[in-house]
């Protein structure tokens, strides 16, 4: 589904990603962990198409197409979804109008007619129920005045509505209390199936107790330095990241 090869990226001339290789297949959940500043969120931004990131080398294949050649909206329409670390507040744009616009633009891209009002509302209701999302938030402006937890839940709710093939969750657990974490995780688990995939970016192992990954990767200094199964996350939780840094330093050639 996703095939990242030797991906290099920079922001304002500073190299941030320095050769990422990662393959994600349908049905898989990959966790990406790593210390602050290692490039986790940058990877999410590059994949979603944030324009301040410049790809300097490498390739990303998404469902047989060149992802890096697409605008952010085309990536979304092709089935990529980014759950934001900091969902943006947009006063004056109603949540419901926003979702309707998004759903219909994605449908138009696939040559489908706009959804009928009734069908849209039915879908809205069933997903609200599935995601335990407060219906009162629907009529408010997009994320305006939402608590941190409500914003993250709104992002996951959008994910349920848009039914992406690949969802990238950028530190979705940051700023969530334990109840919100449980609800968000339950939502993700309900959406998991054999045809879609998830990349979960997180600083802590805590989230991975709720969303159990198939693979865990450690990102450090712009590269994936270690990959393993969910046990790796536990090891990281126990030992921190310092032992990895030590290992890597030994591997680096002496300048």
Does 124 bind other proteins (CB under 8 A)? Our answer is no
Q: Give the span between the Cα atoms of 160 and 97, in whole angstroms.
A: 16
Q: Give the span between the Cα atoms of 71 and 182, in whole angstroms.
A: 33
Question: Judged by CB under 8 A, which of 4, 16, 67, 76 binds other proteins?
Answer: 76
Does 2 bind other proteins (CB under 8 A)? Our answer is no
> Contact 211/203 with Cβ under 8 angstroms?
no
143 or 185: CB nearest other proteins: 143
Strands 215-220 and 223-228: antiparallel
Taking the complex as a whole, the smallest distance from the CB of residue 75 to other proteins amounts, in Å, to: 8
Report, in angstroms and rounded to the nearest whole number, the Rg of the chain calculated over CA atoms: 19
Taking the complex as a whole, the smallest distance from the CB of residue 110 to other proteins amounts, in Å, to: 10
> Contact 93/181 with Cβ under 8 angstroms?
no
* Share in percent of the chain as helix, strand, coil (round to 5): 40, 30, 30
Does 105 bind other proteins (CB under 8 A)? Our answer is yes
What's phi and psi for 114, nearest 5 deg? -60, 150
Question: Judged by CB under 8 A, which of 49, 187, 213, 222 binds other proteins?
Answer: 49
Question: Judged by CB under 8 A, which of 13, 14, 36, 92 binds other proteins?
Answer: 92
Contacting range for other proteins; rule: CB under 8 A; set: 14-22, 88-96, 183-191, 222-230: 88-96
Binding interface with other proteins (CB under 8 A)? 48-51, 71-73, 75-77, 81-82, 84, 87-88, 90-93, 98, 101-102, 105-106, 109, 141, 158, 162
């Amino acid at each position: 589904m996703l095939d990242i090869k030797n991906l290099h990226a920079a922001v304002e001339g500073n190299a941030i990603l320095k050769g990422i290789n990662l393959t994600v297949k349908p049905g898989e959940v990959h966790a990406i962990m790593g210390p602050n500043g290692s490039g986790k969120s940058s990877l999410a931004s590059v994949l979603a198409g944030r324009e301040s990131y410049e790809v300097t080398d490498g390739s990303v294949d998404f469902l047989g197409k060149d992802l890096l050649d697409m605008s952010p909206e085309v990536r979304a329409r092709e089935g990529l979804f980014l759950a934001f670390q900091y969902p943006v507040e947009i006063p004056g744009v109603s949540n419901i109008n926003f979702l309707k616009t998004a759903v219909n633009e994605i449908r138009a891209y696939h040559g489908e007619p706009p959804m009928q009002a009734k069908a849209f509302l039915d879908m809205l209701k069933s997903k609200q129920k599935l995601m335990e999302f407060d219906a009162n938030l629907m009529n408010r402006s997009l994320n305006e005045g939402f608590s941190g937890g409500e914003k993250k839940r709104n992002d996951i709710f959008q994910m349920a509505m848009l039914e992406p093939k690949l969802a990238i969750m950028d530190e979705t657990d940051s700023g969530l209390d334990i109840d919100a974490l449980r609800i968000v995780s339950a939502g993700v688990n309900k959406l998991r199936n054999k045809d879609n995939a998830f990349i979960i970016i997180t600083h802590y192992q805590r989230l991975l107790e709720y969303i159990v990954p198939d693979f865990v990767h450690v990102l450090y200094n712009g590269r994936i330095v270690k990959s393993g199964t969910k046990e790796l996350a536990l090891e990281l939780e126990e030992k921190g990241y310092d032992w990895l840094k030590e290992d890597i330093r030994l591997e680096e050639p002496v300048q």
